[in-house]
Homo-oligomer: A and B are copies of this chain.
């Protein structure tokens, strides 16, 4: 008799194939779910593999458009960057996948969900917090935290042996000495030889971006148009190529950014569970968008709104990183940030070249930029004498501070 039905986040790889078989061994019915979030994958082969390994049902779903619209776009609005550098490519993908997975679980009446994330990482948290938030009664099976599982499979060799024994196809190409995770937004690399924070990443590691040393010697020039803080159109100024749906825009920015080697970073970051880990990321389109959005935002948003919004954006980034996409505070912050974007519209021109993005100019009918007011050549509606009072009033406090320090130095 079945212990119940599990919806397993299935990648088609060795680990989740072994988990599929192991779950069946434990007495569960297994439904596999494979989300297409832009990774390079033979989805049909994965489907056949899952079926052949005994999946009761196989879901393969194209989530790319909702990934861009519901997850990447809010991150763009927020200028979401974790610890000043990481653009959160994995972190925004997890709630997108898990949201669909619990929808399937509810639809199929499955009490269980399962995934192949490790016990030391962030993804387990991002995945499970989403599940608990959206399906509070769900039971989660995380094999890499189940002693029977992780004591049995202590390394890749154990998985290979198990695979051979149970008819699980074993990868024929040798594995890279690191692990990677890919989606439409980025590829991340970690573990293996990268665990030594001092050793440099091998040149052949990157799959999404050209090595800037080999990238074209001529820049591409783009114009990105924003509305409500998200891109609505991108034009390649030279060849006139133009894109105007979220998925097309983002894919095209990946293409151009990737071609010019944009968005590579090598960092040590702080995981939610309190460890430091080394990660290498390439986020071509996201990096282009971050630069462009920063530019149009500062151009159109009031200075003090910007300061407050900057703080909210940092908070948002931490929440996303830590897996709290579906939480009351993240919903609140996302709402506030979206509110701040109402006037963030206009066009940014930029060039992409040899790993870098250069902002060239911008225009907007919603800008608070006032060319006459700021001009050095004309007065505009501005009286320079006012600045004297402004400065002297700002100095009141500083002079009092100095007075007191003087007093205390006299006394001592």
B354 touches A329 (CB 8 A): no
Nearest CB on B from A148, distance (A): 12
Question: What is the chain B residue whose CB lies nearest that of A402?
Answer: B136
Tell me the number of copies of this protein. 4
- Bitwise interface map of A from 97 to 112 toward B, beta carbon under 8 Å scored 1, else 0: 0000000000000000
Residue of B nearest to A400 (CB): B368
Q: How far is the CB of A165 from chain B (nearest CB, A)?
A: 23
Q: Are A212 and B356 in contact (CB under 8 A)?
A: yes
Say whether B332 contacts A132, CB under 8 Å: no
CB atoms of B335 and A339 under 8 A apart: yes
Q: Which of A185-235 contact B (CB under 8 A)?
A: 191-192, 195-201, 212-213, 217, 219
Interface string of A303-343 (1 = CB under 8 A from B): 11111111110110010000110111100110110011001
Q: Is A255 an interface residue when CB atoms closer than 8 A count as contact?
A: no
Name which residue of chain B comes closest to A390, CB basis.
B393
Q: How far is the CA of A142 from the CA of B145 in the complex (A)?
A: 22
* Contact, CB under 8 Å: A298 / B275: no
A370 at the interface (CB under 8 A from B): yes
User: Which A residues, 349 to 366, have Cβ-Cβ distances below 8 Å to chain B?
Assistant: 349, 353-356, 358-363, 365-366
A contact residues, total (Cβ < 8 Å): 130
Q: A200 contacts B310, CB within 8 Å?
A: no
Cβ-based interface call for A385 (8 A): yes
Asked if residues A360 and B212 are in contact (CB atoms below 8 Å), the reply is: no
B394 touches A125 (CB 8 A): yes
Judge whether A386 and B392 touch: CB under 8 Å. Answer: yes
Once A83-B306, A360-B200 are accepted as A-B contacts, the answer to whether A136 and B399 lie under 8 Å apart by CB is yes
Cβ of A369 within 8 Å of any chain B Cβ, yes or no, is yes
Q: Given contacts A305-B332, A386-B388, is CB(A212)–CB(B399) below 8 Å? A: no
| Contact yes or no, B212 A217, CB < 8 A | no
Contacts of A307 in B (CB 8 A): 318, 329
Q: Indicate whether A2 reaches chain B with its CB closer than 8 angstroms.
A: no
Ordered by A's residue number, 8 sampled pairs between the chains whose C-beta atoms are within 8 Å are A119-B382, A125-B390, A304-B397, A307-B318, A328-B397, A356-B356, A367-B404, A386-B392
Known: A128-B391, A303-B397, A387-B389. 20 other contacts (CB 8 A): A120-B387, A125-B394, A129-B398, A132-B395, A133-B402, A155-B377, A192-B377, A195-B371, A195-B376, A198-B349, A200-B361, A213-B217, A264-B358, A266-B361, A270-B303, A274-B394, A276-B367, A276-B374, A278-B374, A390-B393
